[in-house]
Structure 1
């Protein structure tokens, strides 16, 4: 068989003690993580029970053919089984001295506990006698056989495990004993017969004709049938619901498949000189350099992880009678593995009658705190360099360190789940309106704002609340985007919540719970969990390890990192987290609250004097905003986007006004009041648009209402001038949004420059304020060279660029059809969370054409993708000079940018 089509690989030693392993740790895509690392441990001389690995590609060939074996593979497996029997000197199913094997999964990417395993395969009604004769241990033999039947029935045949656990409990009750280990050999032999009866009563013989005897399914006695069915079951577990969900959550490719490892069994349940355990070479919770894990004497692996028996800490192993030497050898193996893999390793082992065997090793999962600590310690120890240390920390893990979390020791029941839209945890009283949240905050009460979906009107309440919970919307909905920007916990799209804001109650589907205003709830924005009642929270532990890793990352990264911030508090927070400026200040957020009445007056009046007065008031308020922003970011660039959204967003809802008029008529309100309200509704209706996203917004707004951009530019320039006079160094930049034509930026730039010059002359200071644009339309990217002639910088607004490129409405897509696209694998990623390749190509084109026309042009990305590690990896290759993200994601982006530079 040629290497190109090789599907099965041996590992371990032959009968003469020679290593015959055909793989190594670099072959994870073929052998899976478990198979590759078993091969590697065998190669470096560790005690690995021999076996063979069936490749991941075979799994996918089998699955893609409708669970039909590729031609010749079963014959190859048969050859490798015979080779294994020759190496071990035993045969599977031998009635005198049987070889027993385990059949284990092993994907290329670690998926702990997601797929299936079968142990003790090869036992039947004859070989059990050989096992007992060879071990002189009837209890061990019958215990192994009952375990095999139980596991095979559950994993391979899909029978409910409780059928067997209930039988065990009945047997223990009959004998008056508490633990499984108290059952005698006779008890276990009787359980074997009971288990076979359960098997026959619950397996459909028509579905498994190989097992049918006189119309009844019989537990398979042929080891070859056992092995074939077990391998097929492990292949099938690649697509079980928990494995599919795990891959989706961890962005693992569904086409990788799992390898299957068939390995000689070693037994931890052969008495007091046998044991089994799981261990880590360092503490995975805090990163301390200590041997960490658990073991059980006289047990098999599933006993350790199932929790049915109390385990002992791994540190006690070398002090346990009969296990001392194996315990010391295991600690030596820990050191060997760390020195070889240069990482903290997760280990499974078995001790059989005092002899140690290694069953698995893989890079261990760890908390963010532990990841930082281990990376720094290993760099100090010389195991890795700083570049490797930076790569050892997952950027997304840093969210664990920057937000409050549920206490891991707390017990609670999840009421319902939504999307984990913004990390962190919150506890508070349910409120249904922004006003209620603000009032509660003024009274010192903590709240969770519960809405069908939030709107810009809810901003004050979102700021006042501890967290935000919506029944609608996705991870890039208004609630999610604003919450992430503020660092507030948010759970979106919890569709089990049926919210009646008028009645101030929530019916939770599938439960008998009805929430009312004032009821206490907790939510975890990192998991999407919603809990009835208060859960204890713990504050993040910001350690020096984080600063150390981020300083190393800053020395490596090539991309700059700025923040999206709209107020001085967020600007200061961003600076504290290492932001190198503000990449996006959205001024529309400065027009809400008490100021909303002013902008509404501007919109609804045609009188130029009234409008001029409104503009003057807003100008003074805007200047105050910018004074705080520029001062917080003194010496660093602050890009201020001129007013972008359609003006109707600042007006009342026509639907709400219509309802209000109906109530007024029903209650007999004065006719003149009704007429005035109706006139207001007509005015508001006149501003409505069929597609506001593509309507009167962005630079179009500035062209139709030139007094607005002039007011904003004057406020920006005025604030900068005032701070310059104070000896500070403000660095404002002006962004013109939604440009599609070079004539738009040419016209608006000229207006802005004229205003800046006026302010500079009035204040007697020199103002050099850069002016650029947001590239958020495909046409702008395509003609970037023409636009660049009038721009000092480009900022790619990838939120709107995704919408206009894909033709997806962000809010509607995530609620309506994106889940189906992702489930059916029409899309691998949510394009609003991770930048789409087509959108990235437009960013690349915009950067290249823009810089070709204007070599001094600075390009950045300020959409939500600027804080997504996978997107940052793409941006690092295609031309932007920096990314900009919410303040709480600045540390994550700094780390991701360094990893992107190393990947290049």
Structure 2
């Protein structure tokens, strides 16, 4: 019989932390916390395996699941001395989701389950507080009605607002037991009106309804979006956790809170969090009430920290903080409840954090001896480093402040104000930078939050939904900016007499919580401190080299600043578009004679030579791979009459002749047309000029600096050995000429870009005359799949959503197809030539998953855009450590 249910708490712990794939992160950690002696209310976890059974069997459960749930529920009843559905001493439970990785707010939860018209009276007597009992009942109906029965959450809120209006009060907490009783009756009427059925009174029916809703929420729109954004497979499923309720809303000796063992924004080793007296968990993250700090050291005037309000509970919580961090060896995100001064732990998980905090924690934990350097390297998500490598607000720039909130997620962003997630997504899709402005965010806003450059809310604290999700996404966020008014009807922000309408620009500083009218100048961040330390540790552990794709002095300097060990792709065609040289390029293309082409190329030679001289100087002896001209010639031709006339005048001809030549060169499918080495064979003078510029530039640098560059000359689009033989001979001939003319020789290499399936399959033959292979995976992906990258955007998203492809193959390498071509070419190439150098220079060179594949294949280096060099350095180290771990295992 398959075991579907695992108990935890009260000395009956059937799970462990390393069972998160089966029990989900929450279930595994509840069992683990129980096993190390922390105060966890007892409960049980229904495994994530039930998700697959649930969806594969038309939303029906395995036959033996009910019996296992009943047995586990009986154990909980025995442990707490209460009975589920008992009229005098009712056991209430919470029903929560729990995927193997944290998905905050994306799936559904139901609290206070087990209340009905009878058990509410028993709860009132047992707690000696009818107001608490009826408040709990209305919370349960509202949550169950919304989550399980599909009644709009706002319909319940309308009933509460009417009740407060009738009672003449502002806060929910001011309503009496009788007034809550009336709210409950209104809720039940609403449910029957909306669903056609009375609110369910049978606790067991309630339980299975909630369990079904949690499993069902795995496929709700916001969860699907979150999984897509965070690369979480749909087949992982979610576990369901059923746990005895403890109450933070039974009075002023009760509280609930969320805390982190270190500051998730900065990484500082300080206890960080918030709590509310007389509240349930959803109150903390909803932002309806202002949360209070935990520690007296950070409390402001008028705030009452938990340390003073409940000193015994705070002291125990501090001990729990130390225990959990030492046990898990990572920063923990903790949920707790204090019921009548007794502390209960409801959850722990590795806390989400900003990349700056992630760096600081990894480095400091290694220095504290909590983890070693290798583990510190593995702790930081390489892709997140992008957040550190882009502009921040210039401290000297002028600015006009609109208001201030909490610095919920650091970073800075400017953009136009939008007030809905849908508009944020649609305008961002058009290339606009947007700031999503909301009173508060909810999980339904996830798509707009991802599309936005920054997020502003007027409600909520540092652990609100907006704050937690923004930090995980790396979006700047200012939360709880209560001094700013969001007017949805008039589409306007206002504060202190200033107004900002939809479509106008604001700037957020997530590090200070400030909001500014208009744009504020930004500066480049400094890469040092913890970042530099972690990069040093990463470099110790990685095997592959990391180069950059660069063809301008600025790109080359940026690459060096970020630690590039050379240039893996210098695209010479980018140099041709410079206004000073495009006319000569066009003259060369239009000319029908070799002599005319050579005359135009002679005018280009000094420009190209200086380009290479500057790059060689900046790279100071590091390898530079230069790809000779690749795109079809028609891409350089003028498209407008004025430009055509300019070319015609320079050649002493008429515009009709220019048009005719442009038509002759036009191609139906230029990506597969007259380009790459085919140009060098048809017009050898082009590659000869480029080779001369490379050698003359390199020799000039060798004489100037005494540090001779080592050019790696790459012939593009080779599919046949003979193509490389012909073009290599052109390069070698020019090398002999330049060395004789200058009396200086330098070392150089000639290789090819593998970007055609034929080249991969015949790599052993091509390797005979190649010193290196560089995989151009952008075009290799196009030719393996037989699709155009320019057009694939029309259908690839659908393929990913439908599960036909796990990821966009232009973003992360298609291991089965494109990757297999890389593997074949690598193995065949090295079999033919043992010392063959292998690298990758497509966009995949900066993608961590693709870099892990390159490590498996044994490539020598990856090359990526300059700003992604740190990403690649860290990803290459993690790939090497992961491969070493696999070999050890």
Task: Tell me if TM exceeds 0.5.
Answer: yes
> What per-residue deviation string (whole Å, max 9, x for no partner) do you get for residues 416-451 of structure 1?
436989999799xxxxxxxxxxxxxxxxxxxxxxxx
1:496 corresponds in structure 2 to none
Cα distance, 1:803 vs. partner? 0.4
The secondary structure found in structure 1 opposite 2:560 is helix
Choose the corresponding residue for 1:127, options 116, 119, 132: 119
Does structure 1 residue 417 correspond to structure 2 residue 459?
no
Task: Give the secondary structure class of the aligned counterpart of 2:295.
Answer: helix
Contact 2:710 2:746 in 1 (8 A): no
Q: 1:562-583, CA deviations, whole angstroms, 9 ceiling, x for partnerless residues?
A: 0000111111110111000000
Partner of 1:504: none
Deviates more, 1:285-294 or 1:847-856: 847-856
CA contact (8 A) 1:583 1:862 kept: yes
One of 700, 703, 706 as aligned partner of 1:722 = 700
Counterpart pick for 1:59 among 24, 45, 51: 51
Q: Aligned runs of 1:170-185 on 2, under 5 Å?
A: 170-185=162-177
Whole-angstrom distance in 1 between the partners of 2:733 and 2:654: 41
Per-residue CA shift, 1:24-51, capped at 9, x if unaligned? 0000110000000000000100000000
CA distance in 1: counterparts of 2:585 and 2:598, whole angstroms = 11
1:640–1:647: structure 2 CA closer, same or farther, 3 Å change rule?
same
Distance 1:734 1:766, change over 3 A: same
Residue 62 of structure 2 corresponds to residue 70 of structure 1: yes
Q: Report the counterpart of residue 128 of structure 2 in structure 1.
A: 136
Cα deviation per residue 1:374-415 (whole Å; 9 max; x = unaligned)? 011101111000000011111111111000268559896236
Number of the residue aligned with 2:536: 551
The aligned counterpart of 1:334 is 321
Deviation of 1:69 (Å)? 1.6
Secondary structure in structure 1 of the residue aligned to 2:334: strand
Is it true that 1:765 corresponds to 2:751 in the alignment? no
- CA deviations on 1:568-605 (whole Å, 9 max, x unpaired) are 11111101110000000000001013211111111112
- Which one of the candidate residues 6, 9, 15 is aligned to 1:9? 6
Quick check: 2:627–2:716 contact (8 Å CA) kept in 1? yes
- Match of 1:202, SS state, is helix
**Alpha carbons 2:94, 2:242 under 8 Å: kept:** yes
- Structure 1 residues not aligned, in runs of 5+: 14-18, 206-216, 428-466, 468-488, 490-510, 513-518, 662-674
Q: Confirm or deny that 1:199 pairs with 2:191.
A: yes
Within the candidate set 779, 804, 812, 1:800 is matched to 779
The match for 1:861 is 840
Cα shift at 1:66: 1.9
Indicate conservation of the 8 Å contact 2:763/2:825, yes or no: yes
Deviation at 1:522, TM superposition (A): 8.3
Question: Per-residue CA shift, 1:876-898, capped at 9, x if unaligned?
Answer: 10121000000000000000000
Partner of 1:664: none
The change in CA–CA distance for 1:408 and 1:706 in structure 2 (over 3 A counts) is: closer
Partner of 1:811: 790
Give me the whole-angstrom Cα distance separating, in 2, the residues matched to 1:280 and 1:247: 24
411-420 or 118-127, which deviates more: 411-420
- The answer to whether 1:347 aligns with 2:339 is no
**Structure-2 residue corresponding to 1:458:** none
TM-score, normalized by length of structure 1?
0.83
How many residues get paired? 777
Distance in 1 of aligned mates of 2:787 and 2:28: 42
Aligned in 2, Cα 1:878/1:354: closer, same or farther, shift over 3 Å?
A: same
Match of 1:754 among 733, 736, 739: 733
1:444 matched residue in structure 2: none
**2:386 alignment partner, SS class:** helix
Residue in 1 aligned with 2:351?
364
Whole-angstrom CA distance in 2 between matches of 1:891 and 1:94: 60
Aligned to 2:575, which of 572, 579, 590?
Answer: 590
- Tell me if 1:631 matches 2:610: no
Structure 1 counterpart of 2:371: 384
Deviations 1:150-182 (A, max 9, x none): 100011111111111111111112222221111
Checking the alignment, whether the CA contact within 8 Å between 1:577 and 1:890 is kept in structure 2 is yes
After superposition, the Cα gap between the structure-2 partners of 1:391 and 1:881, relative to the gap in structure 1 and judged at 3 Å, is same
Q: Secondary structure at the match of 1:789?
A: helix
Distance 2:307 2:376 in 1: 36
In the alignment, which residue of structure 2 is the partner of 1:226? 206
2:710 corresponds to 1:731: yes
Picking from 215, 238, 244, the partner of 1:258 is: 238
- Shift in CA distance, 627/658, structure 1 to aligned 2, threshold 3 Å: closer
**Counterpart secondary structure, 2:808:** coil
Q: In the superposition, relative to structure 1, how do residues 537 and 292 fare at CA in structure 2: closer, same or farther (>3 Å)?
A: farther
Label 1:65 to 1:537 Cα distance change in 2 as closer, same or farther (>3 A): farther
The alpha-carbon distance between structure 1 residues 754 and 625, as it changes in their structure 2 partners (threshold 3 A), is: same
1:731 touches 1:769 (CA, 8 Å); kept in 2?
yes
Aligned pair in 2 of structure 1 residues 887, 409: CA closer, same or farther (>3 Å)? Answer: closer
Q: Secondary structure at the match of 1:593?
A: coil
Q: Relative to structure 1, is the Cα distance of residues 136 and 521 closer, same or farther in structure 2, using a 3 angstrom cutoff?
A: closer
Aligned to 1:573: 558
Q: Which residue of 1 aligns with 2:280?
A: 300
Query: d(CA) in 2 for partners of 1:304 and 1:523?
Result: 27
* CA distance 1:419–1:865, shift in 2 (3 Å): farther
Instruction: Please state whether the residue corresponding to 2:570 is helix, strand or coil.
Output: strand
Preserved CA contact (<8 Å) 1:322 1:354: no
SS of the residue aligned with 1:308? coil
Q: Which secondary structure state, in structure 2, belongs to the residue aligned with residue 338 of structure 1?
A: helix
1:833 aligns with 2:804: no
8 Å contact from structure 1 (residues 403, 424) kept in 2 = no
Q: Separation in 2 of the partners of 1:557 and 1:523?
A: 39
User: Does the Cα contact within 8 Å between 1:103 and 1:260 map onto a contact in 2?
Assistant: yes
Which residue of the partner structure matches residue 845 of structure 1? 824
SS at match of 2:288: coil
Matched, 1:604 2:590: yes
Partner of 2:218: helix, strand, or coil? Answer: helix
Pairing 1:617–2:606 present: no
Q: 1:701 to 1:321 in 2, by over 3 A?
A: closer
Deviation, 1:842, is 1.0
Per the alignment, residue 395 of structure 1 pairs with 382
Q: Is the 8 A contact 2:30 2:347 kept in 1?
A: yes
Aligned to 2:659: 681
Distance 1:898 1:175 in 2: 64
2:873 aligned residue: 894
Asked whether the equivalents of residues 318 and 324 of structure 1 are also in contact (C-alpha less than 8 Å), the reply is: no
SS in 1 for 2:63: coil
Deviation at 1:320, TM superposition (A): 5.4
> Helix, strand or coil for the counterpart of 2:548?
strand
**Matched-pair contact (CA < 8 Å) for 2:275–2:306:** no
Q: 1:589-637 CA distances to partner (integer Å, 9 max, x unpaired)?
A: 0101321111111111214333221010111110010000100001100
For the residue of structure 2 that corresponds to 1:239, the secondary structure is coil
Aligned mates of 1:73, 1:536 — CA distance in 2: 58
| Cα 1:345/1:600, change in 2 over 3 Å | same
State whether residues 775 and 781 of structure 1, in contact with CA within 8 Å, keep that contact through their aligned partners in structure 2.
yes
Provide the rounded CA distance (Å) in 2 between the counterparts of 1:877 and 1:233: 42
Secondary structure at the residue paired with 1:235? helix
Q: Could you give the per-residue CA deviations for residues 226-281 of structure 1, whole angstroms, max 9, x where no partner exists?
A: 00000000001101111111100100001111000000000000101100000000
Given that 1:425 and 1:522 are in contact with CA atoms closer than 8 Å, whether structure 2 keeps it comes out as no
Who is 2:261 aligned against? 281
Q: Is the 8 A contact 2:110 2:210 kept in 1?
A: yes
| Alignment correspondent of 1:430 | none
